Chains A and B, each alone.
Chain A
Amino acid sequence: GQQLNQSPQSMFIQEGEDVSMNCTSSSIFNTWLWYKQDPGEGPVLLIALYKAGELTSNGRLTAQFGITRKDSFLNISASIPSDVGIYFCAGSLTQGGSEKLVFGKGTKLTVNP
């Protein structure tokens, strides 16, 4: 089936550093979504991208829908301790006449104060 390759699997950074993570696939996606999940909680939607090339910001977060529609990245600027968590990408693609949502396996972010 379709797979999303999310990288890196984990990151250890110092407070104040910028962070970048991405998701790639061999499939073409119609929508890209980025979520953050805190331990023991449900994922929270951070950014939704609907058009190829779209660049969207949400505070210190910026995400882009790749021009080939096969990838997306998420950047976090000036990281702070509360950025700790697991970040998931998700992409939707058309399959059998309906939309299917595929998830990456997540990037675990650790921020050292």
Chain B
Amino acid sequence: DGGITQSPKYLFRKEGQNVTLSCEQNLNHDAMYWYRQDPGQGLRLIYYSQIVNDFQKGDIAEGYSVSREKKESFPLTVTSAQKNPTAFYLCASSRDRNRNTIYFGEGSWLTVV
């Protein structure tokens, strides 16, 4: 089945450690996105990528990094510089950046203790 796969679903890390969340899609979509979801707030865009080897900062990129070496993959690293990393992280993709019907993965819960 086509879709977006995020892993791991749940992740616990100690403060000060970097963490990488995986996102893979087999929809042949060019554009991929990472959002952060906190209770009571709308989805906030962290980074997006329109094409392989290119990515752009979203609204809350500080403390995060990404790479886009393959069309199918868009991993997100939550660095120790992110001041409040505990959140639900959502990966998404769309056919291209200007066709904003986006589809989401199942999300990853990150808890930093």
Contacts and interface: CB of A to CB of B under 8 A. Distances in A.
Q: How large is the interface on B (under 10, 10 to 19, 20 to 34, 35 or more residues)?
A: 20 to 34
Contacts of B63: none
Nearest to A33: B101
Nearest to B59: A1
Interface residues of A, number: 24
Contacts of B100: 30-31, 33, 90, 92, 99, 101
Given A103-B43, A105-B42, A106-B42, A43 B101 contact: no
A24 B49 CA distance: 28
Q: Which one of B43, B100, B105 has the highest number of Cβ atoms from chain A below 10 Å of its Cβ?
A: B100
Interface of A: 1, 4, 30-31, 33, 35, 40-45, 48, 88, 90, 92, 98-99, 101-106
Given A45-B103, A98-B97, 10 more contacts: A4-B42, A33-B102, A40-B107, A41-B106, A42-B6, A42-B104, A42-B107, A43-B90, A105-B41, A105-B42
